[in-house]
């Protein structure tokens, strides 16, 4: 039988080389791929890699997508290490917000694996050879690490904490603690009060069920979107460990400040129901005010649109007003009036002092002088029956008539004494001695009688507050 390779014209040597090459290619493809192709390598910096070694699997969502090819120190004095991993094509792409965690494998598998989360599609893709930073990696805490942290003092403190917790739960409250509690739980331990809360558990669980039902959302993928958003928030918080620590410290300070003001805070909380009761009508009124407000806004829009043209139309008036208040116009007038204004201010100040005095004079006239002038003086047999102010002017007319001489310009007052048995004399008149005369009737004297000395005059007494003079009660008689 003739060899087919020979029938095709190929030599036996060439046919053998071709067969060897085909077998080698098949073996390479079956046990490791093409040796000259480049594998995707991803590095991750872990703080502790004592639990992972070479050829440890790399998994995404529980599926093997690669293996650990190298573990080497990070190059500094810390215990951090750089883990190099080969990632298969089905595990790509890897994004910049990817996370890597070292997790224990199940009991039958033993050892540990790298749990790789490739990140979100919106983030940038990592190239081969890029590294995941320590802020995006974590290692598991082993039981021996926990036990080594609990030394004798720590274990004793832990026992004290557990005993204290037991006493807090089962211990009876002190009288001062019990006085501030709700009457329903007074005298009960914390455990008994906790059991009492179970009576309200059905209603609370129903509420939790309603909340869980609401968390499902109203549209498909609402819950997955919520979880994805929570993952983004958690990743952002994890990438900002320093800021998160500061936030927790500041929150602790804030809570301490609130605790120090717990009395005021408790009083404020007690006032919240009243605030809510008062706020509800206020919100109702505010809600009722919105329609008129919207209508007012619609009505005012034309005026707002005309504001620009109104301002443009006002510019000529503004220019004229600026000229009016210029130094050549109103400013000059004000400068000219300034001396007169000063004098007017002084006159105004003087008027403030004068007007009260004028008021006192007016009140003296209206409340004292004029009412006194309206009194009729009873002086029999000389009573006239008219107010005394009229008698005064009538006396002035009589004196004017008595003082007339033949040419009307005399300055004498003439008396025509009649004869009688009554002798009348005067005092010393102008150094000319005494004058005598006769009267038919005895002289009564004057009303009021002339006092021996001038009555005292009090300048501080207010005129209008004085009693009206008793003109009819005055004494009649002669002078001193």
pLDDT in tens, the chain (480 residues): 445 444 555 566 565 666 676 666 565 554 444 445 578 999 999 887 767 888 889 999 888 999 999 988 887 667 788 999 999 999 899 999 999 998 887 655 557 889 999 999 899 999 999 999 988 998 776 655 555 655 666 667 777 878 777 777 777 877 777 777 777 777 788 778 778 777 777 777 788 888 877 777 777 777 788 888 888 888 888 788 778 888 888 888 888 888 888 888 888 888 888 888 888 888 888 888 888 888 888 888 888 888 888 898 889 989 888 888 888 888 888 888 888 888 888 899 889 989 998 999 999 999 999 999 999 988 777 788 899 899 888 888 877 776 666 555 666 666 665 677 788 887 788 788 888 888 777 777 777 777 778 888 888 888 888 888 888 887 777 665
Report the pLDDT value the prediction gives residue 27, as an integer from 0 to 100: 54
CB 469 within 8 A of CB 439: no
Q: How far is CA 455 from CA 201, 436, 452, 459, in A?
A: 104, 30, 9, 13
Query: What is the distance, to the nearest Å, from the Cα of residue 296 to the centroid of all Cα atoms in its chain?
Result: 28
Report the pLDDT value the prediction gives residue 173, as an integer from 0 to 100: 78
Report the pLDDT value the prediction gives residue 352, as an integer from 0 to 100: 92
And the tokens for 305? 């649109």
Query: What is the distance, to the nearest Å, from the Cα of residue 218 to the centroid of all Cα atoms in its chain?
Result: 39
Kind and range of the H or E run holding 46: strand 40-46
Q: How far is CA 368 from CA 354, 360, 371, 466, in A?
A: 21, 11, 6, 8
The residues spanned by each domain of the chain are: 40-146, 150-215, 317-412+459-470
CA 213 – CA 203 distance, rounded (Å): 15
Q: Cα 18–23–26 angle (5° rounding)?
A: 125
Report the pLDDT value the prediction gives residue 115, as an integer from 0 to 100: 92
Report the pLDDT value the prediction gives residue 176, as an integer from 0 to 100: 77
Task: Report the predicted TM-score, pTM, of the whole model to 2 decimal places.
Answer: 0.30
């Amino acid at each position: 039988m003739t060899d087919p390779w020979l029938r095709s014209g190929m030599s036996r040597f060439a046919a053998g080389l071709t067969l060897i090459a085909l077998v080698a290619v098949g073996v390479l493809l079956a046990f490791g791929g093409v040796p000259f192709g480049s594998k995707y390598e991803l590095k991750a910096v872990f703080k502790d890699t004592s639990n992972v070694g070479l050829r440890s699997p790399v998994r995404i969502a529980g599926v093997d997508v690669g293996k650990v090819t190298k573990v080497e120190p990070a190059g500094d004095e810390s215990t951090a290490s750089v883990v190099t991993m080969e990632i298969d094509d089905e595990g790509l792409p890897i994004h910049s917000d990817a996370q890597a965690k070292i997790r224990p494998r199940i009991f039958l598998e033993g050892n540990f694996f790298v749990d790789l989360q490739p990140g979100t599609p919106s983030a940038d893709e990592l190239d081969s050879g890029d590294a995941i930073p320590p802020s995006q990696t974590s290692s598991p805490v082993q039981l021996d690490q926990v036990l080594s942290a609990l030394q004798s003092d720590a274990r004793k403190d832990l026992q004290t904490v557990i005993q204290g917790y037991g006493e807090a739960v089962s211990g009876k409250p002190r009288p001062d603690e019990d006085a501030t509690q709700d009457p329903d739980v007074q005298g009960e331990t914390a455990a008994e009060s906790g059991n009492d809360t179970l009576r309200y558990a059905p209603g609370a669980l129903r509420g939790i069920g309603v909340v869980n039902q609401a968390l499902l959302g109203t549209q498909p993928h609402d819950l997955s979107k919520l979880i994805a958003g929570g993952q983004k928030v958690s990743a952002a918080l994890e990438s900002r460990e320093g800021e998160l620590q500061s936030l927790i410290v500041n929150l602790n300070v804030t809570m301490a400040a609130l605790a120090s003001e717990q009395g005021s805070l408790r009083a404020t909380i007690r006032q919240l129901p009243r605030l809510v009761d008062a706020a509800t009508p206020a919100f109702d009124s505010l809600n009722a005010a919105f329609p008129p407000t919207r209508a007012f806004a619609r009505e005012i829009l034309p005026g707002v649109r005309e504001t620009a043209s109104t301002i443009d139309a006002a510019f000529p008036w503004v220019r004229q007003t600026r000229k009016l208040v210029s130094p050549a116009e109103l400013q000059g007038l004000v400068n000219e009036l300034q001396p007169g204004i000063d004098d007017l201010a002084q006159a105004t100040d003087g008027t403030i002092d004068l007007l009260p005095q004028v008021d006192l004079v007016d009140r003296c006239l209206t409340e004292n002088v004029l009412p006194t002038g309206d009194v009729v003086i009873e002086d029999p047999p000389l009573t006239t029956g008219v107010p005394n102010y009229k008698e005064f002017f009538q006396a002035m007319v009589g004196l004017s008539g008595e003082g007339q001489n033949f040419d009307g310009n005399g300055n004498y007052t003439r008396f025509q004494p009649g004869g009688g048995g009554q002798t009348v004399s005067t005092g010393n008149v102008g150094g000319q001695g005494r004058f005598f005369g006769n009267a038919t009737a005895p002289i009564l004297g004057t009303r009021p009688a002339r006092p021996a000395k001038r009555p005292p005059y009090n300048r501080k007494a207010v005129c209008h507050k004085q009693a009206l003079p008793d003109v009819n009660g005055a004494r009649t008689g002669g002078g001193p």
